[in-house]
Structure 1
Amino acid sequence: MIEKKIRKADYTAIAQNKHAKYEYFIKKEFEAGVSLQGWEVKTLRAGKVNISNSYITLKNGEAYLFGATFQPLMTAPSYIIYEPMRTRKLLLNKRELDSLFDYVNREGYTVVPLLLYWKKSWVKIKICVAKGKKRFDKRVNIKEREWLLNKARIIKHISQ
């Protein structure tokens, strides 16, 4: 019998869009590569990235990441022109792109980034097809979260 070696996690998170799970119902997730410039990779290693206000658009058979902010480092050379909010191309298979186009063409679906991470030496982004939540759906999530906190307090109080 061959035993598998226990190894580190398959990925290391760089930036998360925590607000996405609160704002959307997540239907399906995809993993995509990101086309980056050299200074952007250095920024990723420093962790100066924000994807919370970003979104993904699909046009001409390709997917693009809009609104992600990559802050240039202070030690970066001055001869390079930095665009912190530039559009970045996402690298997906044709089958995955077709699937995304099918979902987006349905009413109410959108594509949202969830997580930017390192997978081995490659930068990947986890994107999802999602549908927006209404106000009452968000209230239900808040009530569930509060109940879990109260339940933990009650159990802790009883066990003492």
Structure 2
Amino acid sequence: MVKKNSKKAAQPATIARNKRATFEYKFDEKFEAGLSLMGWEVKSIRAGKINISESYVMLKNGEAFLHHCHITPLHAASTHVVCDPTRPRKLLLNRRELDRLAGLVERQGYAIVPISMYWRKGAWVKVEIGLGKGKKAHDKRDDIKQRDWDIEKARVMKNK
């Protein structure tokens, strides 16, 4: 009898994805960062009440903060505290990663943008942030043309 492996490869469960970021920026590096949250924020995230489409990362005093990440408070979970849905949330990164990010942002004009948010090991909220530069209009048009061509090519191959 074959023994089944009880430990499954835990795939990170995606909470939110910033689709616009991959269209607006070309990412050179990606980092995984923890997120410092309050209790009501975790409950709201579990309920899916989060939007990271307009959020960005700012470096201040050697620390990284996620700005304009909108977490809508649940009425039942946040009755005893005053909730600020768009407060800056601290990102948990290593000192080496923070120094690298700060150097590239200051010297070479990179931007730091959140790409996705997901659960790690079922309990920790992680944010995938990308270090990249903004695309020009012609680069965006090239991406659209390439995507349309890939769709058309798949359609033709399917019919053969």
Q: TM-score, normalised by structure 1?
A: 0.92
Task: Give the C-alpha shift of residue 5 in structure 1.
Answer: 7.2
Work out whether 1:69 is the aligned partner of 2:70. Answer: yes
Query: Matched residue pairs, number?
Result: 156
Of the structure 1 ranges 17-26 and 68-77, higher mean CA displacement relative to structure 2 is found in: 68-77
Equivalent in the alignment of 1:140: 142
CA drift of 1:106 comes to 2.4
Question: Which of 114, 122, 125 in structure 2 is aligned with 1:123?
Answer: 125
Residue 87 in structure 1 maps to residue 88 in structure 2 = yes
Residue number in structure 1 paired with 2:156: 154
Say if 1:33 and 1:91, in contact at 8 Å, map to a contact too.
yes
Post-superposition Cα deviations, 1:43-94, rounded to whole Å, max 9, x if no partner, equal 1110110001000000100000000000011322422101000010001110
- What secondary structure sits across from 2:79 in the alignment? coil
- Tell me how far 1:6 sits from its aligned partner: 6.7
Structure 2 CA distance for aligned equivalents of residues 60 and 77 of structure 1 = 30
Q: What's the counterpart of residue 25 of structure 1?
A: 26
User: 1:65·1:89 contact (CA, 8 Å) conserved in 2?
Assistant: yes
Say if 2:43 and 2:77, in contact at 8 Å, map to a contact too. Answer: no
In structure 2, do the counterparts of structure 1 residues 105 and 73 end up closer, same or farther at CA, with 3 Å as the change threshold?
same
Distance in 1, Cα, partners of 2:137 & 2:107? 21
Measure the CA separation in 2 of the matches of 1:95 and 1:116: 22
Q: CA offsets per residue over residues 76-124 of structure 1, 9 Å max, x none?
A: 2422101000010001110010010111012331101011111011111
| Percentage of pairs with the same residue | 51
- Give the match's secondary structure for 1:36: coil
3-state SS, counterpart of residue 52 of structure 1: coil
Whether the aligned pair in 2 keeps the contact of 1:117 and 1:123 (CA below 8 Å) is yes
Q: CA 1:101 to 1:46, structure 2 compared with 1: closer, same or farther past 3 Å? A: same
Instruction: Tell me how far 1:16 sits from its aligned partner.
Output: 0.6
Name the amino acid aligned to 1:37: M
Superposed CA RMSD: 1.6
> Is the alpha carbon distance of 1:139 and 1:6 closer, same or farther for their aligned partners in structure 2, counting shifts above 3 Å?
farther
Structure 2 vs 1, CA of residues 22 and 77 (structure 1 numbering), >3 Å: closer, same or farther?
A: closer
